[in-house]
Amino acid sequence: MTRRRSHRGFSLIEAMVAMVVLLIGAVGMLSLHSTGLRLESEAREITRATAIAQDLMAQIQTWQFTDPRLAKAASSATTGRIDISDDAGLFASTASPTADYSEADLTLNGLDWNGIAGADLSTGGFQRYWNVSNVDVSGNLIDSNSNGTADGMRTAVVVRWPRGSSWHRISLVGFKLNPADRL
C-alpha cells in the first residue's frame, strides 16, 4: 500500500476565492463610506440652517411688539393665516414661497439688524423667511382673557436651502407676548 503525502498550503483557486470575498467586503465598505459622507454633509447643512433660524428667532424676541417687521400679525386674523410654519411643505418646492417677510425686510427703511447678514447666507444658498400671526392653528384670535386684544403672536422662521433638484427646509416656531395685554 502506498501512502500519499498531503500537500500543505492553498491552491490558486482557493486564493482567488479569498480575494473575491475580500473584494466584495471592500466594495461594501466603500458604499458605507460614501453614504457616511453624504449624511455628514446633510447634517452640516441642517446645523447651519438651524443656527441661521435661531439667530433670527432670537432677534425677533428683541424687537418691539409694534416693530414693522411684525406688523402683518394684525392682518393675519383677517386672512386666516394659520400655517405659519409651513406644515403644507410649500417651502420645499422650487417656486418662490409665500411668506410674510423675507431677507430684504430685515433692514427695510433703515431698521437695525444685528444678526447673521444676508451675505453670510449666500454660501450654501440659504434663504430665510418669517411669518407672524395672532391667530391660533384653528384660526381663532389668541386671546385667553377675552378682551378682544391679542395676547401675543405666533412667529415662525423658515430657512430653506437647495439640495439637488428640490429644497430642504427647517422651521422654528415661537411666541411673542403682547406687552399691552398682560394676562
Give domain status of residue 62, yes or no.
yes
**Structural domain includes residue 106:** yes
**Is residue 5 one of the residues assigned to a domain?**
no
Residue 1 has what pLDDT? 59
Model confidence, pTM: 0.78
Quick: pLDDT tens for 94-107. Answer: 777 888 888 888 88
What percentage of the chain exceeds 70 in pLDDT?
89
What is the share, in percent, of the chain residues with pLDDT greater than 90?
A: 31
pLDDT surpassing 60 at residue 157: yes
| Mean pLDDT for all residues in the chain | 84
Look at residue 4 and tell me if it is in a domain: no
pLDDT tier for residue 7 given thresholds of 50, 70 and 90: low
Amino acid 77: pLDDT: 47
Within a domain: 57: yes
> In this structure, is residue 6 part of a structural domain?
no
Q: Which pLDDT value is given to residue 2?
A: 64
Q: Of 38-47, 65-74, 157-166, which range is least confident?
A: 65-74
Q: Give the domain extent around 104.
A: 12-177
Residue 54 belongs to a domain:
yes
Q: Please provide the DSSP assignment of the chain as one string.
A: -PPPPPPPS--HHHHHHHHHHHHHHHHHHHHHHHHHHHHHHHHHHHHHHHHHHHHHHHHHHHS-TT-GGGTHHHHHHHHT---TT-TT-GGGSSSPP--SEEGGGGSGGG----S--HHHHHTTT-EEEEEEESB-TTS-B--TT-SSS-SEEEEEEEEEEEETTEEEEEEEEEEEE-TTS--
In this predicted model, what pLDDT tens digit does every residue of 53-72 receive, in sequence order? 999 999 999 999 889 999 88
79-99 pLDDT, tens per residue?
Answer: 446 778 888 888 888 777 888
Residue 23 pLDDT more than 90? Answer: yes
How many domains are there within the chain?
Answer: 1
168 against 1, higher pLDDT? 168
Indicate whether 44 pLDDT > 70: yes
pLDDT attached to residue 59: 93
Asked, for residue 19, whether it belongs to a domain, the answer is yes
